[in-house]
Amino acid sequence: MDCVGYHTAMTTLLAVETSASLCSLAILVDGDWIEDTQNVERAHNQVVLGNLEALRCRAGIGPGDFTAVAFAAGPGSFTGIRIAAALAQGVAFGCGAGVVPVSSSLALALAGRRHPELPADAAGLITVTRSRRDACYLAAFRLTAAGQIPVREMDDVLHQGTDRPGRLPGSGWVGVGDRPDWWPDERPFLDSVAVTARLVGELALPAVAANDLLPPEAALPVYVSGDSPWQPAPR
């Protein structure tokens, strides 16, 4: 795609989020966010490069002008987080840029933190991300002052089965993400929360500002202990 009017900025950040059904890209240039978010289900690989090229032209920047790339590194869709990592690596290598892997569960918690239906007295958020039919990733984040990024209380774990896990925080904690069947009816759950690339980019900004960037080869997906999409072949 041809586009004109290239300009450069001291920091030009590309953010990528493909760890769920959304294919979301955002570019921060000259202090302004330019975004493209589409619900593509499992077609990320078919649209992400074309979407990036179109967004780059909208932003008026050249192909080699990115100075940092942030991406949602997981946990999430096995294929989706690999697409984000591969795109981050490719762009960063091509531009000589650094990368910032961002926790997908932290991005989900931040989206829940900003959700208008979050109860005012919520103490924290339990993120739930579907892995497979009877498995999900869980993490917990404590809420502090308004506008602050949630603080991680429990690392990402894989929960399998239909029984409610026994290690979740108590009352006052709200669920967010993919509501599981075992979630108790009396506890609030935010199941209409979208994580966009802009959220991922915002979480990466402190590292970008501090120039705490990783080399492109460090753009790797995050996998949770005990989880694998591969199943043994039948004997």
Which pLDDT value is given to residue 209?
A: 94
Residue 233 — pLDDT band, cuts 50, 70, 90? very low
In angstroms, the Cα distances linking 208 to 3, 42, 58, 144 are 27, 30, 22, 23
Would you say how long the chain is, in residues? 235
User: Residue 232 pLDDT > 70, yes or no?
Assistant: no
Distance from chain centroid for Cα 50: 20
Which tokens is 232 given? 């043994």
Residue 5 — pLDDT band, cuts 50, 70, 90? very low
- The Cα–Cα gap between 177 and 187 comes to 14
In angstroms, the Cα distances linking 65 to 18, 56, 99, 213 are 22, 10, 14, 16
- The Cα–Cα gap between 136 and 127 comes to 10
User: Residue 170 pLDDT > 90, yes or no?
Assistant: no
- Residue of 235 and 190 predicted with greater confidence: 190
What percent of the chain lies above the pLDDT cut of 70? 92
| Least confident range of 58-67, 69-78, 107-116, 130-139 | 130-139
Per-residue pLDDT tens over the stretch 191-205: 989 999 999 999 999
What predicted TM-score, i.e. pTM, was given to this entire model? 0.91
Which pLDDT value is given to residue 6?
A: 36
